[in-house]
Structure 1
Amino acid sequence: MLSEQTIQIIKSTVPVLEVHGVEITKRFYEKLFTSHPELLHLFNHANQKQGRQQTALANAVYAAAKHIDRLEAILPAVKQIAHKHRSLGVKPEQYPIVGEHLLGAIKDVLGDAATDEILGAWAEAYGVIASAFIGIESDMYTNSAMQPGGWSDFRAFVITGKKRESDVITSFYLTPQDHGPLAAFEPGQYVSIRIQIPGDTYTHIRQYSLSHVSGQPFYRISVKREDTNPAIPAGKVSVYLHNQAQEGDIVWLSAPAGDFTLDHTDSRPVTLLSGGVGLTPMVSMLHSLVAKQPNRKVTFIHAAQNSQHHALRKEVEQLAEDHPQVTVAWCYAQPTDLDSSEKVYHKEGYLDLPWIQTLVPSVNGSFYFCGPVPFMKTVNQSLIAWGVPEADRHYEFFGPSGALA
């Protein structure tokens, strides 16, 4: 436990972290990768270039400082990060390295304001927080390895199918190279895929949601090719998977992870809202709902640019046709002429609350949503305005966590 003096010192640094947090975390990653370049194998370099990882870490450090006297308040965030760490293969011996360079970054940025007293308090607090992560992740590694068909690190998988789902999304069907059983997973979870791209110095690890249901002889991920926006660095892994990976190739997967999962104990109506490639966990949830809760009303709402960018559409429409409790609705921002002439969508433009309310009769239900950050902000703010309580709003970021305020 932390002493009262340490708690007060940490809380006194909250205003400083609010101003200098991103600067500190940017300096932290510079120091970390300079001293330990091998850790670059664990990180998404595109997120580093965009500053998303630095901002996410700054938010986490700020939250830890703000709630240092009641760390249970940040336990959900700790568990979410721990899932990511377990799927990446983060090990206990890496935590002291992180602590050393985080304290060094605080000293570098704050200069003389980072007194020995402040650095000592942060060293003590980091030790407590790191111990919590290590303990939670140890349990996760054990549980992952002990479950039927499970494993703790990375396992070799064969690409046994590659299917183009839209102009920008392709599905990959993955089966274990050892032909052993597959661990079950909860709808909404993801796997980490580890790839060595020819000519690249570092291995690359990315998380992709599982887009089918558990119990199949394969895992399926549906990947968006991230090279269409010149303002954003191209995604090396997604481009490699689309352009070079072939059936028969070997990739390495972590066991399924993640806490953005469907609550099957809830029997109320459920609404699944997605934008772009954010539909992948929602399709998994839909498969699971019709299989396990055939009497539960489901509304599946998806926003895409147009039919050419709309993946897995026929699969979802077939599920809705086979299961009358499922309703689907499509929102196209820029429908093609053919889309318009054939009336293959239900709303043109962008998703908004009045339209959602025409599809979902009541706030009495659960809402799950995933997609680009602007889409999720719109959905979250709409649901808040409608009066949907926080406990019924479930969402996940693709990549480092952010804010939906």
Structure 2
Amino acid sequence: MTALVPRSRRKLASLAEALLTPHGMDRYLELVDPMLVRREIRGVVTGVERQTADTVTLTIRPSRAWRGFTAGQYVRVSVDINGVRRTRCYSPACSQHRRDGQLELTVKADPKGLVSRYLHENAEPGMVVNLSQPDGGFTMPERRAPKTLLISGGSGITPVLSMLRTLVDERHPGEIVFLHYANTAEDVLYREELAKLAALHSGVKIVLAYTLAKSGADLHGFFSAKHLTKAAPWYRDAETYLCGPKPLMDSVRERFGDDGLSERLHTEEFTPPALKFDKADAEGQIRFAHSGKEFANSGKPLLEQAEDAGLNPEHGCRMGICFSCTKVKTSGCVRNAKSGALSEEENEEIQLCISVPVGDVEINA
């Protein structure tokens, strides 16, 4: 008999949803409590910490629609700023096995970043944000490697710290080296926790490299082959996970490429990919309906063409991850610059940052 109760509740919920059309149940539930919504994912901020002058660490309790995440993945976080919903991607820094089910996000305030500055300046306990289900393939295999090298720089520490915390929670018996780059000791996020993890777990080694200061550093300067061999002499036999600023990632990729180890290097980045566009054969007219702007197709992605024309569409990552620049294409055809796929449907949502016009295109913006 008890097995029938959940099914009955689902039927009642579906009936209520139908009766409350067109707004749906969530629109009424959120008037009582935003965290009661059933279909959308919300998160309430339960803790705020500012580890460094330009970062904020948020502890967030997700609503019941949240399904959990895998270490290394990212989550789209949306906030309403001056009546406009803004979305950015952040990687949880906590273990995927965190017992209370809460998320920990550390956000670095970019001087030009609308969302990061907003969170840095305004986040407080009780604040409610919108969340997505997790995404991204920057994850460890279920069968953990006997040797793991984690390399990060700056705020890129968050996804690899999540991996470290996850491995520690699993009591992973293998060797783990965590190599992190920062300007000075004061710029190292989670510095005290990293020291405690190394002290409590014999298989964990923390190596801090400071690019501007020598005092207190295990290594000094930028990434090099010497740094790699000193931090993890066995790196050729390890699985390596890397996240950080582009110069660091380029240097590590080059080193691993020279060593024939590219397949053992796994990376995550939120910088635009190097895409090539056929500007010579571009044709057609581009029209942004609301602004009335119309111009010749240059062959660039629609976001860049809009900016060249003096428009300022909402955008975030510029690489098709955060969906901030999603707009409705009312007519025409575009090509996805990452996949090469064509989108020809009318009234279709597209991402301006990775959509290249093929002939005449009109955007409802």
Q: TM-score range by the shorter chain?
A: 0.5 to 0.7
Q: How many equivalent pairs are there?
A: 236
Is 1:271 the counterpart of 2:271? The answer is no
Is 1:224 the counterpart of 2:96? The answer is no
Q: Which residue of 2 aligns with 1:196?
A: 80
Q: Secondary structure at the match of 1:298?
A: strand
Q: Give the conservation status (yes or no) of the 8 Å contact 1:330–1:346.
A: yes
The partner residue of 2:125 within 224, 247, 251 is 247
Q: Which residue of 1 aligns with 2:217?
A: 345
Partners in 2 of 1:215 and 1:354 — Cα distance? 35
Q: Which residue of 2 aligns with 1:211?
A: 93
Shift of 1:397: 0.9
Q: Which residue of 2 aligns with 1:31?
A: none
CA pair 153-274 structure 1, distance change in 2 beyond 3 A: farther
Q: Which residue of 2 aligns with 1:365?
A: 238
Is 1:385 the counterpart of 2:263? The answer is no
Q: Which residue of 2 aligns with 1:112?
A: none
Q: Give the conservation status (yes or no) of the 8 Å contact 2:182–2:188.
A: yes
Q: Give the conservation status (yes or no) of the 8 Å contact 1:154–1:255.
A: no
CA pair 366-402 structure 1, distance change in 2 beyond 3 A: farther
Shift of 1:154: 3.8
Superposition map of 1:6-405 within 5 A: 154-176=40-62, 178=63, 180=64, 182-198=66-82, 202-216=84-98, 217=100, 218-227=102-111, 234-335=112-213, 340=215, 344-362=216-234, 363-388=236-261, 390-402=262-274
CA pair 282-187 structure 1, distance change in 2 beyond 3 A: same
Q: Give the conservation status (yes or no) of the 8 Å contact 1:191–1:255.
A: yes
Q: Secondary structure at the match of 1:384?
A: helix
Shift of 1:293: 4.8
Partners in 1 of 2:252 and 2:239 — Cα distance? 13
Q: Give the conservation status (yes or no) of the 8 Å contact 1:167–1:308.
A: no
Partners in 1 of 2:44 and 2:38 — Cα distance? 18
Q: Which residue of 2 aligns with 1:78?
A: none
- TM-score (normalizing by structure 2): 0.61
Partners in 1 of 2:195 and 2:186 — Cα distance? 16
Shift of 1:219: 0.7
Give the structure, 1 or 2, with the largest relative contact order (CA under 8 Å, sep 6 or more): 1
- TM-score (normalizing by structure 1): 0.55
Partners in 2 of 1:155 and 1:266 — Cα distance? 30
Q: Secondary structure at the match of 2:140?
A: coil
CA pair 152-277 structure 1, distance change in 2 beyond 3 A: farther
Shift of 1:191: 0.7
Q: CA-atom RMSD, angstroms?
A: 2.0
CA pair 401-292 structure 1, distance change in 2 beyond 3 A: farther
CA pair 402-328 structure 1, distance change in 2 beyond 3 A: farther
Structure 1: unaligned runs, 5 residues or longer: 1-150, 228-233
Partners in 1 of 2:38 and 2:162 — Cα distance? 23
Shift of 1:399: 4.4
CA pair 304-154 structure 1, distance change in 2 beyond 3 A: farther
Q: Secondary structure at the match of 2:81?
A: coil
Q: Give the conservation status (yes or no) of the 8 Å contact 2:41–2:65.
A: no
Q: Give the conservation status (yes or no) of the 8 Å contact 1:366–1:393.
A: yes
Partners in 2 of 1:264 and 1:359 — Cα distance? 25
Partners in 2 of 1:306 and 1:153 — Cα distance? 44
Shift of 1:182: 4.5
Equivalent position amino acid for 1:250 in 2: V
CA pair 257-240 structure 1, distance change in 2 beyond 3 A: same
Q: Give the conservation status (yes or no) of the 8 Å contact 1:273–1:301.
A: yes
Partners in 2 of 1:215 and 1:152 — Cα distance? 23
